Amino acid sequence: MIIGSLPILILGFLLRKQIETVARNLWLVALTLILFGVILGVCDALGRRVKQIDDLNARDGIVYGLGQALALIPGVSRSGATISAGLALGYTRESAARYSFLLAIPAVLASGLFQALQIGSDTTAAWGPTLLATAIAFVVGYLVIAWLLRYLASNSFLPFVLYRIALGLVLIVLLLMGVVTAA
């Protein structure tokens, strides 16, 4: 997990200003929703699905990590990008998803710690509600991941592919109609 976490940690730190400002554009989000929906669909359809999580090696860890780093681009799902990487490497759906979620732990913890340090000793920060919300999110996230892994044992990613494409198209329509603005 350390090797797979290095790309997002390094790039996230180096590119944090661009990520927080320049990259926040709804046209980019719409296009990446669609593009990475298609990528997930292609990887799911064409992946060999023979490798198990025990087959993970350093090279595969780096590829997973580069997939995770793509999530720094708004509209790219961290889990979708890493699962696509795993499927492209030949992992089963369940193994690709399992490692994707394990790989999230260091990235999410580092991001949370960075944000907490940014808040610092701000006396207006509501730490109690924040910790409660974090605990609830952990429990709900755990339950959803457990369900998803069971689902993927016998189902494809097609519903997620269709969701991403539909959401991207809806966003494009809203942008074209002027209901929402890009920046």
Q: Looking at the domain assignment, is residue 181 inside a domain?
A: no
Give the whole-angstrom CA distance, residue 166 versus residue 160.
10
Tell whether 183 is covered by a domain. no
Number of compact structural domains in the chain: 1
Asked whether residue 182 is domain-assigned, the answer is no
Q: At CB < 8 A and 24+ separation, what contacts does 107-111 make? A: 107/5, 107/8, 107/9, 107/12, 107/68, 107/78, 110/5, 110/9, 110/12, 111/12
* Within-domain flag for 6: yes
The pLDDT value recorded for residue 86 is: 97
Per-residue model confidence (pLDDT) at position 120: 67
Q: Which structural domain, as residue segments, surrounds residue 148?
A: 2-176
What pLDDT does 122 receive? 65
Q: What is the pLDDT of residue 30?
A: 97
Q: What is the mean pLDDT for each group of 10 consecutive residues in the chain (183 residues)? A: 80 78 84 98 95 95 93 92 97 96 83 73 69 86 94 95 98 96 84
